[in-house]
Amino acid sequence: MAAPLRLLSRLTVVTGGGSGIGRAVCQRFAAEGASVVVADVNEDSANETLQSLPRDYRGQKHSVVGVEVSSKESVERMVTTIQRGYFQPPSVCVSAAGITRDEFLLKMEEGDFDRVVQVNLKGTFLLTQAVSRALVASGSPKGSIITVGSIVGKVGNIGQVNYSASKAGVEGLTRTAAKELSRFGIRCNCVLPGFITTPMTEKVPEKVINMITSMIPLGRLGQPAEVADACAFLASDDSRYITGVSIEVTGGLFIG
Ligand code: NAD
């Protein structure tokens, strides 16, 4: 089925664009006509994503920018680079960069707690702030900021006290940003993936994956493209009256 063309001539940036969900979002946005900036700390994998992007529409121009999302300086440099290259700020941004460092609460090292919060939560803050500042300064009439939380931010998950705390924080950040930025025409929404087949979940033992799968009403793990579908909806004008919400993309896991 061909993708609709809801993002023609929109400039978008996707952190974590070098892998998994971020890569699928880049591909979906490009298929819908957007220009895509693939942003990742791993520039090789970001370049692989770049090579995979369709360029079927006039004016469509994709690029790669290296970024360390936990560094304010790096994130600000990225936004400046984008503005220099495209003569405008991105009007859609997706914070898909994320990491796990799993351990039981009783054993977790402080450094592993801090690092996960720095990348997942502070990284989302820095990107949201830098992009929304640029949009407000440019007088752009609209923007869509999409953050990536996780269902485990709502329900918790054994071995992920750092990760689930960071993802719960992402939801709170998104709701607050939505309230503050609405008057500038900027919408902010969060997607909450359940268990999606990516390099991140490859680390989870098969026994645990089988147990989780048995709990998913739709009976299988999700695909990155299925999270990208929700992001494309949130990026597009089809969601123009939606802000401050979280959309669960979980196959029904933990409903109710
Ligand atoms: P992934 O490991 O496949 O991709 C993550 C990407 O983020 C990689 O390309 C990596 O290089 C990049 N990255 C990591 N740290 C970075 C940093 N400091 N600066 C810039 N880039 C950095 O993971 P994924 O499964 O595609 O996850 C994408 C997002 O979705 C993450 O935020 C993750 O927490 C979230 N999520 C994933 C699942 C899942 O089941 N896969 C479920 C819920 C939420």
d(CA 156, CA 55): 40
Specify the DSSP class assigned to residue 117: I
pLDDT in tens, 133-153: 999 999 998 999 999 999 999
Judge whether 241 counts as a catalytic residue: no
Task: Give me the pLDDT at residue 27, please.
Answer: 98
Q: Is the pLDDT of residue 208 over 80?
A: yes
CA of 24 to the centre of ligand 1 (A): 12
How many CB atoms are located within 10 Å of the residue 5 CB?
13
Domains of the chain: 11-249 (3.40.50.720)
Atom of ligand 1 minimally distant from the CA of 68 = 19
Instruction: Label residue 111 left, alpha or beta by phi (over 0 means left) and psi (-120 to 50 means alpha).
Output: alpha
Determine whether the shortest distance from the Cβ of 170 to ligand 1 is under 6 A: no
d(CA 252, CA 127): 30
Can you give the pTM of this predicted structure?
Answer: 0.98
pLDDT in tens, 14-55: 999 999 999 999 999 999 999 999 999 999 999 999 999 999
Determine whether the shortest distance from the Cβ of 67 to ligand 1 is under 6 A: yes
